[in-house]
Amino acid sequence: MIIDINFVGLIVASIMASAVPLILASCGELITERSGVLNLGVEGMMIIGAISGFALMTVTGSLIIAVFGAMFAGVLISTIFAFLTQTLITNHVATGLALTIFGIGISAMIGKNFVGIPGKEFPVLFEGLKDTIPLLSPILFGHSIVFYFAFALPFITSYFLKKTKIGLIVRAVGDSPESASNQGINVKFVRYACILYGGAMCGLAGAYLSMIYTPQWIENMTGGRGWIALALVVFSTWNPIKILIGAMIFGGLTIIQFHMQAIGVRIPVQFLTALPYIVTIIVLVVISRDSRKIRLSTPSSLGKSFHKDN
């Protein structure tokens, strides 16, 4: 069997493309969790981003407005979460669930008039270089700007957390809000900021799905990617670089489905579709088995409310 080397390149590129929304959402959620906040509303924020991006693109015709609008929509919806968990000190888990239910409902409500409308073509970069290098060309060139941003994001996030002062503050707030507060850091403000940032990234992840990956609006089109993104954060043990690896594995599982069917492997399609979820569970088990390691890398105050008495 002769394997076309460019075909391999194309497969890798398609795996990377399906990893993009996971990377964006996970990196956003990672910052939120590093500040000590567990936001289970990732799925809801992503779907809001997906419909906002698609609706704005259809109505205004501007891709830039649509992309930034989707991020802004993510920020808006996460403001609800921030206000509830930080100002009204509600339970993180319950509030995040409410956010997801609300997000799925309201996105379907807005999206009613956008079903069946074809999307727009999203411009790609470096298209002229597509045939220059065998194998590498399809991987490196001819993708949207969001694609490149997603693959840079884990490195930026890692640098931000490790090397910058603000990153240090975020980590301090997540690991010990009491001492951070005693140092004069406004814990609530930092957490608000991290939640809104997470919202923006989830909004962008959603917009990527509805505008670039499958350019159309389908109800519930995130299909559990938000939850896989949450699992990826645990998988990465809160290390942004590992998110990249995890997202590639899950992207690979998604892409494998199509190719297995194409070459006629006789496995029920439902089993292949279930694979990413099953693998997520297995990976979580393997990662969490060592409870000491998990405890060392988990932000100590994750999911716990912080309230300073006046």
Partner 1 sequence: MIKIVKRDQPSRAIFFLTPVLAIFLTLLAGGLIFYILGFKPFEALKFFFIVPIADMYGFSELLLKATPLCLIAIGLSFCFKSNNWNIGAEGQLTFGAIVSGGVALLFYEQEGFYILPIVILAGAIGGMLYASIPAILKTYFNTNEILVSLMLVYVSKLILDYLVVGPWSNPEGFNFPETRQFSDSARLPLLFEGLRIHAGIFLALAAVVISWFVFYKTYLGFQMKVSGFSLKTAKYAGYKGKKMIVLVFLISGACAGLAGVGEITGPIGQLHREVSPDYGFTAIIVAFLGRLHPVGIIFASLVVAITYLGAETAQIFMQIPKYTGQVFQGMILFFLLASDYLLFFKFKFIGSKK
Can you give the binding site for partner 1, defined by CB under 8 A? 40, 80, 84, 88-91, 93-95, 97-99, 101-106, 108-109, 112, 224, 227, 230-231, 234, 268, 270-271, 273-274, 277-278, 280-281, 284-285, 288-289, 291, 294, 309
Which is nearer to partner 1, 83 or 151 (by Cβ)? Answer: 83
To partner 1, the closest distance from the beta carbon of 59 in angstroms equals 16
What's the first-to-final CA gap in the chain, in angstroms? 73
Q: Going by C-beta distance under 8 Å and a sequence separation of 6 or more, which residues neighbour residue 113?
A: none
User: What is each CA distance from 202 to 100, 148, 175, 258, in whole angstroms?
Assistant: 12, 16, 24, 26
Minimum distance of partner 1 from residue 223's CB (angstroms)? 8
User: How wide is the angle at C-alpha 23 spanned by C-alphas 108 and 13, nearest 5°?
Assistant: 100
Give 2 or 88: the residue with its C-beta nearer to partner 1.
Answer: 88
Q: Helix H segments across the chain?
A: 5-34, 42-60, 63-82, 92-111, 136-140, 145-163, 165-175, 177-182, 187-208, 225-235, 240-262, 269-288, 291-297
Minimal distance, residue 263 CB to partner 1, in Å: 21
| 219-258: b (≥16 Cβ within 10 Å) or e | eebbeebbbbbbbbbbbbebbbebbbebbbbbbbbbbbbe
- How near is the Cβ of 149 to partner 1 at its closest, in Å? 26
When the beta carbons of 184 and 291 are compared against partner 1, the nearer one is: 291
What is the C-alpha separation between 3 and 141, in angstroms, rounded?
21
Whole-number minimum distance, CB 277 to partner 1, in Å?
Answer: 4
Nearer to partner 1, 143 or 225 (CB): 225
Return the number of the residue (81 or 160) whose C-beta is nearest partner 1: 81
47 or 63: whose CB is closer to partner 1?
A: 47
- In the complex, minimum distance from the CB of residue 111 to partner 1, in angstroms, rounded to a whole number: 9
